Amino acid sequence: MPVISPNAFAPPAASRAANDAAAPVTPDLREKVRRLERAHSVQRAGRQAVALGVPAIDALLPEGGLLTGALHEVEAGPTPSGRVAAHDGAALGFAAHLLSRLGTLRPAGTLLWCRRPSGTFDAPPYAPALAAWFDPARLLMVTVRRDEDLFWAMEEGLRCSGIAAVLGETRAADPIAGRRLSLAAEKSGVAALLLRAQPVPAQVICTTRWRIASAPTRSTPGLSDVGTPRWRVELRRNRFGLPSVAETPSWLLEWNDEAHCLSVVPQALHGSSRESHVGPLGTRLVG
């Protein structure tokens, strides 16, 4: 009976050494893989792109918008003082804007909002404030005590018909739960959002990751009122979009209550030299 040693199938030592010393993946090859992933992701059933209404941002996103049938993350970033607020209205407002844009695909659909209160004084989102983005009557709020229940509620919501988008408000970062949400979103064609009150370790599950922080706003010239909300938005992950750049893309956005849209504030209007001359009533942090 012949005996074959496993070493007979091993590559020569010189060949192994050559493979170990192989050059790293070239940028051209990495870009080719990204393009294949991007094309495959958009062709999957149920995936569409929803424009955010900001051309500078939509130009970087796959197919010019936020993909449905995918998982996206929104996290609160530090304010100019370096502090991350426990309940940053900027991150919540941006998440509400994403919900409103995703909800346009199914105007009669329900917006499912799942949340786990983080403290005794953690109040639910204020309905009149959310009305700036969508009709609060479309909102179904689910409050849970455990993160496991929150992820379960989100996953079940993604499987239900009549749901336009699902949002989960939590501080937990569970890769397994994130993977299940991503697969459920892909199967249903409904977008899932995770809203976090503070930055968390980076994960490779989500399609996009956004970091949002309040930014100084400007009052009306000659008045001491509080100006329109401004947010510092960073796109920290863009899996199927344009190739990543050396610096994380960021924008200073301003919300317009009358037009119900976001717009990029020109650099000339928010330079540090100009902002230093604004008085305490002229510069406020608005979430």
According to DSSP, residue 269 is labeled G
d(CA 9, CA 265): 63
Contact 111, 134 (CB under 8 A): yes
According to DSSP, residue 226 is labeled -
How many distinct structural domains can be found in the chain?
1
Residue 77: predicted pLDDT: 84
| Cross-strand bridge partners of residue 196 | 75
CATH of the domain at 256: 3.40.50.300
Element containing residue 29 per DSSP (H, E) = helix 27-43
d(CA 112, CA 143): 11
Q: Which of 123, 143, 195 is nearest to 165 (CA)?
A: 195
Q: In this structure, what token pair is assigned to residue 120?
A: 């005794």
3-state secondary structure of 128: helix
According to DSSP, residue 10 is labeled S
Residue 14 lies in a domain: no
Residue 16 lies in a domain: no
Residue 266 lies in a domain: yes
First to last CA, the chain: 78
Residue 287: predicted pLDDT: 38
Pairing of strands 139-143, 110-115: parallel
d(CA 69, CA 71): 7
Contacts of 283 (CB under 8 A, 6+ apart): 216, 217, 218, 275
Residue 59: predicted pLDDT: 92
According to DSSP, residue 131 is labeled T
3-state secondary structure of 117: coil
Query: By residue range, what is the domain housing residue 231?
Result: 56-120+129-286
Residue 148: predicted pLDDT: 93
Residue 136 lies in a domain: yes
Contacts of 127 (CB under 8 A, 6+ apart): 136, 139
Instruction: Tell me how long the chain is.
Output: 287
Give Rg (Cα) of the chain.
23
To the nearest 10°, the Cα dihedral for 99, 100, 103, 107?
150
Residue 10 lies in a domain: no
Residue 215: predicted pLDDT: 84
Residue 86 lies in a domain: yes
Q: In this structure, what token pair is assigned to residue 6?
A: 């496993």
Residue 113 lies in a domain: yes
What pLDDT tens digit does each residue of the chain (287 aa) get? 555 454 554 555 555 554 555 556 676 676 566 556 655 555 554 578 999 999 999 999 988 999 999 999 999 887 656 666 555 688 999 999 999 999 998 999 999 999 988 765 577 888 888 888 999 999 999 999 999 999 999 999 999 989 999 999 988 888 899 999 999 999 999 999 999 887 777 667 899 999 998 888 776 666 666 678 889 999 999 888 876 555 688 999 998 877 888 899 986 444 433 343 333 333 333 33
Contact 228, 204 (CB under 8 A): no
Residue 152 lies in a domain: yes
